[in-house]
Structure 1
Amino acid sequence: MTAVRPAPLVRGWCPGALRPMATGDGLLVRLHPPGGRLTIADMRCIARLSRDTGNGLIDLTGRGNLQIRGVSAESHPALAEGLVTAGLVAPDETDGPYRLTIVSPLAGRDPAEIFDAAALAAAIEALRPGLAGLPPKIAVLVDAGGALPLDGEVAELRLRAAAPEEVLVGLAGGAWFGPVRLGVVPALVAGLLRLAVEGHRASPAGVRRLSDVPRGALEGTLARFGGLRAAAPPRRPAAARAGLVRDRAGTSALLFGAPFGRCDADGLEALAGLAETAGADGFGLAPWRGFAMTGLARAEPVFAGIAAAGFITRNDDPRLVVRACPGAPACSRGEAPAQADAARFAAAAAARIADGLTLHVSGCAKGCAGAGIADLTLVGHEGAYQIVLSGTAGGRPVARLDATGLVSLLARPGGIDALVPGVSSS
């Protein structure tokens, strides 16, 4: 076949497979699996290529994508060729948008879905060729209800099932519209995203998100499709991130997590072998940096093997809900080893996390592990951490401590609240 020609390297770009991003441990290559699904063969292929062309480390992202780390400029062409040959990447992949939608790892399979989330997501993904120039941070969350609601995931455009043929549309900031008819949703989404494309073209620095588009233009487009202002839908309880849930055709899906989204080639290889032995039909990637092994007739025997491979199978494990980027030295921007320290912080704050505390550990002020507000955000700064309460990684810090001091603070009852009198971290 014709050799794949990787695109020129650009720092700070939202990376793809053919256009990687330079990081502290080499090039980072991001895969965007269609629908957030991988077959057993896909998992084995990614594991092999990660081992052969990278450092064997693999990240799961908050949009249900995968990242292969530690790739070199010399090994990247072989990686790109292998991904294209396996059908994991299109040979003409450009600058994006790579993948527009965020979905449940059981999209299209969950017996309790109100409508087929996978089908709606596929219709929205089909819009991508007409959206060249869309700011890469914009995502469309498709939530059809079911066993795994997505209320806790961050997206600038939310589509939430109101009835089998009706959808509520949510914008950043909490404004809701609709319901609109399910059949017009792809055209509505296209209209909204084109506003972002046009705005970004006119002002690249001024329009980087859908929320940067004038609200009047967004509401005008919504109104043309019947999307008038509506009450916010009730927030649903957080879904389990580890354990068994019902899958289609009377089978089960096994949910499990990767600690802070990090796994390796050996782990993927082990998962592929376990899935094959158990008769699973593949994997769904979860936006909370986890997996669903799907199509299982009997899931219980697989649990021990998944845990032995280094994955999280207990829903009460605090590492499932703590957001942490790799930090230093893997990231050249990192000012502290965020991922390594996050394990210590999660253990120290386990009781508070069980009570609902949200914790974000970021190697720098960019906050790549999550854009949303956390009760407690720890931001790497010259080897220590700045402490932000009820904010983001770019928020105003109220104190600064090293990792050892933070472990003591988090483990001490009332320690977080004592940082600033009258300010609560929960």
Structure 2
Amino acid sequence: MSARSSKPVVQGWCPGAHRPMMSGDGLVVRVRPRLARLSAAQTLGLCELSERFGNGTIDLTNRANLQLRGVAEADHRSLLAKLTALDLLDAEPGIEVRRNILVSPLYQADDLTARLAHELIERLGELPALPAKFGFAIDTVPKRQLAGDSADIRLELGEAGLILRADGCETGRSVTEGEAIDRLIDLAVWFSAHFTPETRRMARLISSRQLPTQWLGDHPCAIGEPLEPGTYLLGPVYGAPFGQLPAKQLSDLIGKSGAVAMRVTPWRMFLLEDGAAISAPDFVTDGTDPLMTTDACPGAPLCPQAEVETRGIARELAQRVSGSLHVSGCTKGCARMGSADITLVGSAGRFDLVKQGRAGDEPIQRGLTPETLMTMDLT
């Protein structure tokens, strides 16, 4: 059996708007919606920009960001001007790259989650120098929604109230709302003073260096049930297969539903605030749809790291895998950082098979063709 191809390049940073990343089909330009929310006008404007400057599809990422793909380098400056006019872009690039903030998507206007998020956004300039992927989660709901999502410093609820917790620690520090962002900045300063090139995330640093006891002691609340497509008090939730939002179809859905805003999640789902629950064949409306447990990166030729096309076979195999499925164009596994029941990893035009693992794990079979996979028992 053939060995895997050369190791893919790990960039160590994510694309932004001011600092896009070149991909196989052009620039990838990332938009970070404040509080994971875009007004209806902003959403419609972004859809128009995707069709005008990109490939007509908006990507919803596992950090609850939105990406325009296929942007020509010559159009980048014009696109930035349009994003600024929509109020979707920070004027200061240094602030924009720091705004890696996840929020529980079912927050109410001016509740604790919203207040903390607004204050953190206002004070991003006070943070020390941090690695590009360093992020924050504001998960202040009775049962946590973001526990499984990537973040380095977390604001959560505990038995006695609000706590600040370093990712990788079972317990955190009790704080009041008034001091929460002050202490968050203090914890970020501690991290900034101690991280190394090998420990650029909080959990990794804590695994090799003990966190001072002042940051420990209070347990967070329990983890809640995951969000699923369906109707909620704030509006309907739809799934986006592989995180893809076709701009024309999304624009039509916003208009027909009467939604006043769109909220995005790190789980390939979006909520239409105050919108009507209407039929949307291009999106997932059933939480049992196997596409909701199927992850696939853009693949070849869209990503220069990918060694195979991914989403076509992922869609075909989704119905045949009883658990979670991850199809990755290379060993980086960008679409799913955790393990899956079945993981297929691109290698020289074929696939390596990993069971109960991640894209970078040792495969149990190598060099499988799409035709072979379609005949295999993957249950």
Counterpart of 2:362 (choices 386, 396, 413) is: 396
CA distance change for structure 1 residues 339 and 218 in 2, over 3 Å: closer, same or farther? Answer: farther
Q: Check whether the contact 2:171–2:218 (CA below 8 A) recurs between aligned residues.
A: yes
SS in 2 for 1:389: strand
Alignment partner of 1:319 is 2:285:
no
Alignment partner of 1:175 is 2:175:
no
Alignment partner of 1:244 is 2:231:
yes
SS in 1 for 2:274: strand
Structure 2 equivalent of residue 72 of structure 1: 72
Alignment partner of 1:133 is 2:129:
yes
Structure 2 equivalent of residue 284 of structure 1: 263
Q: Deviations for 1:325-351, whole angstroms, at most 9, x for unmatched residues? A: 1111111111111222211121211xx
1:259: Cα distance to partner?
A: 0.8
Counterpart of 2:348 (choices 382, 388, 397) is: 382
Report sequence identity in percent. 33
1:154: Cα distance to partner?
A: 3.5
CA distance change for structure 1 residues 316 and 148 in 2, over 3 Å: closer, same or farther? Answer: farther
Structure 1 equivalent of residue 315 of structure 2: 343
Note the 1:4-43 alignment, pairs <5 A. Answer: 13-43=13-43
- 1:291 is aligned with what amino acid? F
Q: Check whether the contact 2:173–2:217 (CA below 8 A) recurs between aligned residues.
A: yes
SS in 1 for 2:46: helix
CA distance change for structure 1 residues 232 and 35 in 2, over 3 Å: closer, same or farther? Answer: closer
Q: Check whether the contact 2:344–2:359 (CA below 8 A) recurs between aligned residues.
A: yes
- 2:255 is aligned with what amino acid? G
Q: Deviations for 1:222-269, whole angstroms, at most 9, x for unmatched residues? A: x43xx43455754433x232001113xxxxx11001111012221232
1:281: Cα distance to partner?
A: 2.0
1:180: Cα distance to partner?
A: 4.0
Alignment partner of 1:156 is 2:148:
no
Counterpart of 2:193 (choices 194, 198, 209) is: 198
C-alpha distance in 2, partners of 1:303/1:147?
Answer: 29
Alignment partner of 1:274 is 2:256:
yes
Alignment partner of 1:61 is 2:33:
no
SS in 2 for 1:74: helix
C-alpha distance in 2, partners of 1:30/1:62?
Answer: 12
C-alpha distance in 1, partners of 2:147/2:216?
Answer: 21
SS in 2 for 1:378: strand
CA distance change for structure 1 residues 168 and 99 in 2, over 3 Å: closer, same or farther? Answer: closer
Structure 1 equivalent of residue 5 of structure 2: none
C-alpha distance in 2, partners of 1:160/1:141?
Answer: 8
CA distance change for structure 1 residues 191 and 51 in 2, over 3 Å: closer, same or farther? Answer: same
- 1:125 is aligned with what amino acid? I
Q: Deviations for 1:39-82, whole angstroms, at most 9, x for unmatched residues? A: 11111111111111122121000111100010011111111111
Q: Any unmatched runs of 5+ in structure 2? A: 1-10
Q: Deviations for 1:282-341, whole angstroms, at most 9, x for unmatched residues? A: 111011021100124xx3xx421xx13x11111111112222211111111111112222
Q: Deviations for 1:163-217, whole angstroms, at most 9, x for unmatched residues? A: 5832362523x622344444433222212222333345xx4x2232122435586
Following TM superposition, where does structure 1 have runs of at least 4 consecutive aligned residues deviating by more than 6 angstroms? Answer: none
C-alpha distance in 2, partners of 1:340/1:236?
Answer: 33
Tell me the TM-score normalised to structure 1 length: 0.79
Structure 1 equivalent of residue 199 of structure 2: 207
CA distance change for structure 1 residues 105 and 274 in 2, over 3 Å: closer, same or farther? Answer: farther
Q: Check whether the contact 1:196–1:207 (CA below 8 A) recurs between aligned residues.
A: no
SS in 2 for 1:312: coil
Structure 2 equivalent of residue 421 of structure 1: none
Q: Check whether the contact 1:60–1:262 (CA below 8 A) recurs between aligned residues.
A: yes
Q: Deviations for 1:353-398, whole angstroms, at most 9, x for unmatched residues? A: 3xxxx33221111111122233332211112222223332222222
Structure 2 equivalent of residue 8 of structure 1: none
C-alpha distance in 1, partners of 2:217/2:143?
Answer: 27
Give the count of matched residue pairs. 368
Q: Check whether the contact 1:367–1:394 (CA below 8 A) recurs between aligned residues.
A: yes
Structure 1 equivalent of residue 373 of structure 2: 406
SS in 1 for 2:94: coil
Q: Check whether the contact 2:44–2:251 (CA below 8 A) recurs between aligned residues.
A: yes
Structure number with greater CO (CA < 8 Å, separation at least 6) is: 2
CA distance change for structure 1 residues 407 and 130 in 2, over 3 Å: closer, same or farther? Answer: farther
